[in-house]
Amino acid sequence: MSHPASRVLAMLELLQMHHVRTGVQLAADLGVDERTVRRYAATLAELGVPVVASRGRHGGYRLAPGYKLPPLMLTDDEAVAVALGLAAADQMGLTTAAPATSSALAKIQRVLPTALADRLAGVLDNLGFTQRRRDDPARPATDTLLGLGAAARTRHRVRLAYRSWRGEDSERDLDPYGLVFHAGHWYTVGHDHRSGEIRTFRIDRVVRVAALAEVFAVPDGFDPVGHVVRSLSRVPYAWEVEVLLATDLASARARVPPSVAELSSAGTGVLLRCRAERLDGMAPLLAGLGFSFTILRPEELRIEMIDYADRLVGWARSAAVRPDRG
């Protein structure tokens, strides 16, 4: 930030972020002396930005009340970072119901310098994702997501109008402990005063949210992400799977994401718990981890594992057929 113009813009950003900033604070932020800060304030005033300077114990520099801030200014690197973030969020479903990502991306591309816009378009037009895009992601309303986020931040209870997956409507008071994005869906987790339990709710099924006056405290050490993963793992499936992995917890977590299974230390190994609708997918998953393991349950998984191993041996022993290059 050696160029004076960059420092002047940086001072404007600091005044936008802080109600009042003293000359000493601004000088330290910008790496200049207080005399230079006064000169920068005069420069901003000449550009039409009303910087007000006041003396005294609580004095300093601030923007005049009611001043309409100029449009957001981004460097090239910042603009590219925002554009790529929007593209990734749209792919993952990490957005709200309003089609804002495409319009925001279009706005950013319109104001970029032509050369940079063309280079960025080349990236976006040829960008592929290993994570498959959800065909019809259920996305929450923007106001609902923001309302729950504000309540979780200020620790205020909310009243939810909620519609279950069965289409049943209910109203309940909730202490929202946090927000979680998991497997293409938004969730909020907290103390549900209707059931008296900590519950998980899909935010796209929240019809209406209203902040209440009551405040709450989050239990010490509560992990919203872990709770959501555990609560979803208890959804009824055809098979309950428990496998003891011969490895440590850190190595297991590096191979098994939270969305797949719950992991916990068990003596000298790691206990893997999950639920599955079919067992034919569990066998290759376990084989691909690279750890020795002991199947605790179900017995049917042991049989599926043996069948899978036999198939692997058969494939490995099959004679290679070379393609005809003639």
Residue 178 has pLDDT above 50, yes or no: yes
**Structural domain containing residue 18:** 4-63
pLDDT of residue 17: 78
pLDDT digits (tens, 9 = 90+) for 80-113: 888 888 888 888 878 887 667 877 888 787 777 7
Are 243 and 295 within one domain? Answer: yes
**d(C-alpha 272, C-alpha 31), whole Å:** 53
In a domain, 210, yes or no: yes
Looking at the fold, whether 218 and 272 belong to one and the same domain comes out as no
Q: What is the pLDDT of residues 136-160, one digit of tens each?
A: 667 888 899 999 999 999 999 999 9
Share of the chain above pLDDT 90, in %: 39
Q: Are 40 and 11 contacting, i.e. CB atoms less than 8 angstroms apart?
A: yes
In a domain, 186, yes or no: yes
Residue 321: inside a domain, yes or no? no
Same domain? 247 vs 194? no
**Claim to verify: residue 84 and residue 59 sit in the same structural domain:** no
| pLDDT at 267 exceeding the cut of 90 | no
Spacing of C-alpha 175 from chain mean position: 21
How far, in Å, CA of 217 to CA of 175, rounded? Answer: 8
Q: Which of 230, 248, 283 is the last residue of a domain?
A: 230
Least confident of 55-59, 100-104, 164-168, 284-288: 55-59
Q: Is 223 found in the same domain as 182?
A: yes
- pLDDT exceeds cutoff 80 at 5: no
CA distance 204 to 187: 8
Averaged confidence pLDDT in the chain: 85
More confident residue, 127 or 270: 270
Q: Could you say which of 230, 247, 281 is where a domain stops?
A: 230
Same domain, 98 and 119: yes
- Selected residue with higher pLDDT from 117 and 197: 197
Residue 131 lies in a domain: no
Q: Whole-prediction pTM value? A: 0.57
More confidently predicted of 304 and 116? 304
Residue 192 sits in a domain whose CATH number is 2.30.30.520
Residue 242 maps to a domain: yes
Say how many domains are in the chain.
Answer: 4
Residue 324 counted as domain residue: no
Give yes or no: residues 245 and 226 share one domain.
no
The conformational region for residue 287 under phi > 0 = left, psi -120 to 50 = alpha, else beta, is alpha
Pair (222, 267) in one structural domain: no
More confident residue, 260 or 202: 202
Q: How confident is the model at residue 271 (pLDDT cuts 50, 70, 90)?
A: very high
Q: Is the pLDDT of residue 185 over 80?
A: yes
Q: Is the same domain home to 148 and 118?
A: no
> What integer is the mean pLDDT of 178-182?
92
Is residue 296, in this structure, part of any structural domain at all? yes
Angle (deg, nearest 10), helices 4-17 and 34-46: 80
Residue 323 lies in a domain: no
Show which of 194, 215, 230 is a domain's final residue. Answer: 230
Secondary structure (DSSP) of 84-150: HHHHHHHHHT-S-SS-HHHHHHHHHHHHS-HHHHHHHHHHHHT---SSPPPSS-----HHHHHHHHH
- Note the pLDDT of residue 1: 43
What integer is the mean pLDDT of 8-25? 84
